[in-house]
């Protein structure tokens, strides 16, 4: 059992605290938030409330789970790693490649495990897509179409950090688009160039509510990415190969999963669909992190891919502003 502290008790931090109450592998026992009114909630859920300094000085705490604004991640990861704590960081790891490199380097130098909140990698149909792609069953990968849209962030107050240009540049990118971008990196490797457009079409979201991006990868394949914050939930990943294609559709939002439909079509054949029951991919990700921190199987998201995803984020943000094709660093 890995004893952890949750840093950031916003809606997602509270969700993780409740989710992990029944986990046999990872137990949150402390919580941190700059809003002192969160102390009452923490104590009601069995979490000792304090400061990050308290957590890092506590030898009983083996890991920290960061659910904090994106711009704070790098400094907090470095502090935690230096204190010898394993770190699980919510997505995105950082907003700049140099910061992602610093976070990864600090964890390596201090011998701690770094986990990342890209839980969509842990969904069973996404695992099967990766197996199909890596086995060669789809042939040469040509292109990915991916969309992840939702409208529940419209209810957030305008001053919420998730809508701030510093922490959430390029509109929907860090809220939803990053998940699909990361899946593309897991399938296609590092990106090379990006073009992007962000528009505010149907909301008061200052950073925009509609993102379209074209990301070119080093191997030649491309990602067509759509992320929208002003339309009801929809999520779809489609991978085209020279020998066939595969598509995954969500039946409901991942925060309340109802399962998925995976459809495959091989050259010369017909499309075949399979239903997948719901599983808690968020918990699977966290428990894989706990296993790695306790000396079990290595954490399945390579640090190099974490950095590649951040590099692509940075290029998309720059491209959305410049309205030109931007080279991905690295």
Which of 76, 103, 118 is at the close of a domain? 118
Enumerate residues 6+ apart whose C-beta is below 8 A from 247: 236, 237, 238, 239, 262, 263, 264
CATH code for position 205: 3.30.360.10
- Domain count within the chain: 2
Instruction: Please name the residue that has the structure tokens 């030898």.
Output: 59
Residue 142: count of CB within 10 angstroms of its CB: 14
CATH code for position 62: 3.40.50.720
pLDDT of residue 196: 98
User: Any bridge partners for residue 240, and if so which?
Assistant: 143, 245
Q: What does residue 323 show for φ and ψ, rounded to 5 degrees?
A: 60, 30
Query: To 10 degrees, what angle do helices 124-135 and 178-188 make?
Result: 30
pLDDT of residue 146: 98
pLDDT of residue 158: 86
**Do 207 and 303 fall into the same domain?**
yes
Which of 83, 118, 153 is at the close of a domain? 118
Which of 88, 118, 148 is at the close of a domain? 118
**Do 160 and 174 fall into the same domain?**
yes
**Do 163 and 306 fall into the same domain?**
yes
**Do 48 and 143 fall into the same domain?**
no
**Do 14 and 29 fall into the same domain?**
yes
d(CA 178, CA 174) in angstroms, rounded, equals: 5
Whole-model pTM? 0.97
Residue-by-residue pLDDT tens, the chain, 330 positions: 999 999 999 999 999 999 999 999 999 999 999 999 999 999 999 999 999 999 999 999 999 999 999 999 999 999 999 999 999 999 999 999 999 999 999 999 999 999 999 999 999 999 999 999 999 999 999 999 999 999 989 988 888 898 888 999 999 999 999 999 999 999 999 999 999 999 999 999 999 999 999 999 999 999 999 999 999 999 999 999 999 999 999 999 988 899 999 999 999 999 999 999 999 999 999 999 999 999 999 999 999 999 999 999 999 999 999 999 999 998
Residue-range definition of the domain harbouring residue 216 = 120-327
What sections of the chain are H helices per DSSP? 11-19, 38-44, 52-57, 73-82, 97-109, 124-135, 178-188, 281-293, 303-322
**Do 139 and 59 fall into the same domain?**
no
């Amino acid at each position: 059992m890995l004893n952890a502290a949750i840093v950031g008790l916003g809606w997602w931090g509270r969700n993780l605290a409740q989710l992990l109450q029944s986990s046999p592998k990872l137990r949150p026992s402390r919580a941190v938030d700059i809003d002192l009114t969160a102390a009452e909630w923490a104590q009601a859920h069995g979490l000792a409330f304090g400061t990050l300094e308290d957590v890092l000085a506590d030898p009983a705490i083996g890991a920290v789970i960061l659910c904090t604004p994106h711009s704070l991640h790098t400094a907090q990861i470095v502090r935690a790693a230096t204190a010898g704590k394993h770190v699980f960081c919510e997505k995105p790891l950082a907003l700049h490649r140099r910061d992602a490199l610093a976070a990864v380097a600090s964890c390596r130098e201090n011998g701690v495990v770094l986990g990342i909140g890209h839980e969509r990698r842990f969904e069973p149909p996404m695992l099967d897509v990766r197996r199909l792609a890596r086995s060669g069953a789809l042939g040469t990968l040509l292109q990915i179409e991916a969309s992840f849209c939702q409208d529940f962030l419209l209810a957030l107050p305008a001053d919420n950090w998730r809508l701030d240009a510093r922490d959430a540049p390029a509109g929907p990118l860090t809220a939803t688009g990053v998940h699909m971008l990361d899946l593309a990196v897991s399938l296609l490797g590092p990106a090379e160039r990006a073009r992007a457009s962000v528009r505010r079409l149907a909301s008061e979201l200052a950073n925009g509510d509609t993102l379209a991006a074209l990301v070119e990868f080093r191997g030649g394949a491309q990602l067509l990415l759509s992320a929208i914050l002003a339309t009801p939930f929809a999520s779809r990943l489609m991978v085209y190969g020279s020998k066939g294609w595969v598509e995954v559709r969500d039946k409901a939002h991942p925060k309340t999963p109802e399962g998925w439909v995976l459809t495959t079509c091989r050259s010369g054949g017909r499309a075949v669909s399979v239903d997948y029951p719901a599983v808690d991919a968020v918990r699977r990700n966290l428990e894989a992190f706990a296993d790695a921190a306790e000396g079990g199987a290595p954490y399945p998201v390579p640090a190099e891919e974490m950095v590649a995803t951040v590099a692509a984020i940075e290029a998309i943000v720059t491209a959305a502003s410049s309205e030109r094709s931007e080279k991905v660093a690295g």
